[in-house]
Structure 1
């Protein structure tokens, strides 16, 4: 076998830049922000910069029953830290005797999230009954194929909603997933070593991006709710087709079903729409930091290949820390991404078939509703593919200089 010393000698000449004597530093020195535990895990998460910056958007997640912090998760642990880049966790005594308002709020959020889940499950059960009522005894013929496809399209949509919520509830219940992403952001994110740096950074450029994403998320939620519930609240012949789909198998004036449809349509709007925008927000956050690291590394390398700011190993460690955050985000979003890609492709094919088979019977409202749904399916696919590609490109953008 080749000795470690021989391997290191082989790898050394391949580095693109070299470490100057003046910029070399003790790599055991902690870099980045050091997490401070107060003994209250909820308060610790609430105090992180990523949580505070995302708080306006997290309201939408909480309204959809998609986010909470489990009070029993306990304080942060250090077993996943980068050994050369971190220091022991500091414990603060300032909040040991503080009121348990944090825990009360999060326990209420947990109860609310599972109430929303029960409402969505009841909404799904109602749709399942409508599907069975609508296609049971219906001959499987070419003339009835559009009816069958439309019913299963509804069922695929409501199934996607319930599974999506379960995915995010599971991520919130696991302390190593979504809540810990906020905690580890504090000491794994990229700390700029350059004074008066002009590169886009998390602190300077995140807020306006968050505000834009939040605005479009709210607008999309309203449109989603309108497409689901306007058939119930607007007495117009234009909406008869949509109302018939919602009330199939029940009397059109049955109050309990109308209320279930109204509340279920409102809750499912958040569950269906918000995750894609949350994915966008986290992807934007990671992309900003990777580009910031690339900018600082480029600025710190002289023409002769000498690195003047920090050291090459420092930048390697910071890149590795950001990759850990990408892995944590991937653990949260990858099940939802797989579900959304699969369901949306099927939905697009179904909508194309329904348009070809039944478009001659549609009203103006039906046309607008179907156009909205088709745009939503394509928008979610575009967000996943485009933002995912940008993160992947940002991860690789400085690998040549760091490890080439």
Structure 2
């Protein structure tokens, strides 16, 4: 028994009271068992009178050791409680930090949404489309700031808006109608109603004279305006069209690249804005002159008041209303052309900068100094921007081609085969020039985007591939396949891409329908 107690004393006797032993948990458990065995041995020998003296002495030692052990246990429990409390406090601090970080991430998300850096969000954060719609504003995009005068013009014409998203009391996001959207709906309603009104032109008896051709000209033009208004309304209300174009371009634009052509683009924006407003003012002023001017012209424009008869006694209020409708149609007809031209210029400048940098990076020996993958990926991003632009302008281009061709035929036929007054001839010449300029502008701007998008093809063949690694050769092959594959550019309802051969085809075959028309014998 004394040996057991001696071993226990040697194990615990050197530890000061209140200091936890340094052995591990398993060692402490074994020591507790030895201590219990020693106490049990004292109890069993308590009945032996010969060992009473020694037993009493050892009992005191064991009890003292037990008290010391209990004190150590208490201190250990106290330390464990302190550690547990510290751990809980640390966990609460960590939770607070996480909450703050989440708030910071939320703020970052909202900021990034406004800046359109959608791809910069953390992958583990689920941002709903409704949240993105709520936080998105066109005014925070680079593209909006670059072409702001044109956007304002589009808003005046009822061709640009953004749906109003609001958070309800229950926390859900609801899509509403903004003031600009209501204005755009009103414009669409008026131009469509005006187009449908043209059906009354052909009621009753109509002779094949210059009056019938005037009615046909107005009908085709009104139909063109109504299609343009609907096209831009659908583009603005659809998340993946107008908004998708602004986001895609904003993700690609780099300040270092923009600075190289910022002045040129700003000049183009001013020129396009001034041009469309001057054409609109000239057109509206000419219409006022035609409606209230010489009878040779006023008699023609009174035909557009149908279903009112030309001999209606109170025509002046309706003539004023007709001029007002003409103002709306002029804005709807001209303002999209300025927007289309500016977007094409922007894409042209971006592709041009990429091509020039790509050509500079290729040395005379055929070695490329920069990573070809970065160039290829940037070209791919610009191609995606062209696809986003085509999602809007493919309908616009199709409307231009399908209405301007018959419109030019009608106007030219009227000029050639009818004896018109000089004022009527000048009016038809103005219409013919407007049609040709609009068609030529759409074709030329689409062609320069297509040509510049494929421009790196002239330099990629200069790269040496014999000494290139397999990865480098793969990048060259992928880039070459992109440039020689499907044509990159704007289309007419995906039927054909607007390129230089398209301009040649239009030039050659545009007079064909006119040559097939023979005058009435």
Q: Bigger radius of gyration, 1 or 2?
A: 2
How many Å separate the matches in 2 of 1:175 and 1:73? 16
CA–CA distance in structure 1, aligned partners of residues 235 and 136 of structure 2 = 19
Structure 1 residues 156-235: aligned runs within 5 Å: 156-189=220-253, 192=256, 201-232=260-291, 234-235=292-293
Of 52, 67, 80, the match for 2:145: 52
Q: Report the 3-state secondary structure (helix = DSSP H, G, I; strand = E; otherwise coil) of the residue aligned with 1:288.
A: helix
Return 119-128 or 258-267, whichever deviates more: 119-128
Contact 1:190 1:318 in 2 (8 A): no
Aligned: 1:244 with 2:315: no
| CA apart distance, 1:214 | 1.1
2:154 to 49, 61, 65: 61
CA pair 63-303 structure 1, distance change in 2 beyond 3 A: same
Distance 1:178 1:368 in 2: 38
Offset at residue 268 of structure 1 (A): 0.5
Q: Which moved more, 1:273-282 or 1:114-123?
A: 114-123
Equivalent position to 1:361, from 400, 420, 429: 420
Instruction: Indicate how the Cα distance of structure 1 residues 268 and 356 shifts in structure 2: closer, same or farther if over 3 A, else same.
Output: same
> Which residue number corresponds to residue 429 of structure 2?
371
Question: Quick check: 1:107 aligned with 2:178?
Answer: yes
The reply to whether residue 343 of structure 1 matches residue 403 of structure 2 is yes
Paired with 2:261 and 2:141, the residues of 1 have a C-alpha distance of 13
Tell me if 1:149 matches 2:213. yes
Distance 1:120 1:386 in 2: 28
**Quick one: distance in 1 between partners of 2:196 and 2:452?**
43
CA contact (8 A) 1:149 1:350 kept: yes
Q: Find the partner of 1:132 among 202, 209, 215.
A: 202
Give 1:81-120 correspondences, 5 Å limit. 107-120=178-191
Match of 1:176, SS state, is helix
The whole-number CA distance in structure 2 between the counterparts of 1:275 and 1:343 is: 15
Any stretches of 5+ residues in structure 2 without a counterpart?
Answer: 1-114, 122-130, 168-174, 461-475, 481-521
1:204 Cα deviation after fit:
3.8
By how many angstroms is 1:356 displaced? 1.6
From the superposition, tell whether residues 43 and 223 of structure 1 become closer, same or farther in structure 2 (CA, over 3 Å).
Answer: same
Distance 1:56 1:231 in 2: 30
Matches within 5 A, 1:377-396: 377-396=435-454
CA contact (8 A) 2:214 2:300 kept: no
Which of 322, 336, 340 aligns to 2:382? It is: 322
Q: Tell me the residue number matched to 2:361.
A: 300
Give the alignment's Cα RMSD to 1 decimal.
2.8
Residues 1:331 and 2:354 are matched in the alignment: no
Cα pair 1:68 1:109 within 8 Å, conserved = yes
CA contact (8 A) 1:184 1:325 kept: yes
Q: TM-score under structure 2 normalisation?
A: 0.58
Higher percent of residues as helix: 2
Query: Among 123, 132, 135, which residue is 2:194 paired with?
Result: 123
- What is the rounded CA distance, in whole Å, between the counterparts of 1:296 and 1:73 in structure 2? 45
Secondary structure (helix, strand or coil) at the match of 2:363 reads: coil
Contact 2:133 2:165 in 1 (8 A): no
Q: 1:168-200: CA deviations, max 9, x gaps?
A: 10111111001221122121235658xxxxx98
Structure 1 portions without partners, runs of 5+:
1-31, 75-102, 194-198
3-state secondary structure, aligned to 2:178: helix
Greater RCO, CA 8 A, separation 6+: 1
Equivalent residues of 1:146, 1:354 under 8 A apart: yes
The answer to whether the 8 Å contact 1:42/1:69 transfers is: no
**What is the alpha-carbon distance in structure 1 between the residues aligned to residue 166 and residue 449 of structure 2?**
29
Confirm or deny: 8 A CA contact 1:190 1:322 kept in the other structure. Answer: no
Identify which range, 201-210 or 151-160, moves more after superposition.
201-210
- How far, CA to CA, are the matches of 2:315 and 2:135 in structure 1? 43
4+ residue runs of structure 1 moved beyond 4 angstroms?
35-43, 190-193
Deviation at 1:68, TM superposition (A): 0.8
- In structure 2, the partner of 1:265 is 326
Relative to 1, partners in 2 of residues 1:302 and 1:361: Cα closer, same or farther, differing over 3 Å? closer
Paired with 1:295 and 1:284, the residues of 2 have a C-alpha distance of 16
